[in-house]
Amino acid sequence: MVLAEQNAQLAPYRGEKANERLKELFEQEKYGEMAELFFPKAVCTLASDLIDVWWKVWDIYWIFAILRYISCCVIFDFITI
In a domain, 81, yes or no: no
Count of the separate structural domains present in the chain: 1
Selected residue with higher pLDDT from 73 and 69 = 69
| Domain region containing 2 | 1-38
Tens-place pLDDT, residues 12-32: 666 788 788 888 888 999 888
What pLDDT score does 36 carry?
83
pLDDT band at 49 (very low <50, low <70, confident <90, very high): very high
- Residue 60: inside a domain, yes or no? no
What is the DSSP annotation of 6-58? HHHHHTT--THHHHHHHHHHHHTT-HHHHHHHHS-HHHHHHHHHHHHHHHHHH
pTM of the predicted model, to two decimals? 0.51
pLDDT tops 90 at residue 50:
yes
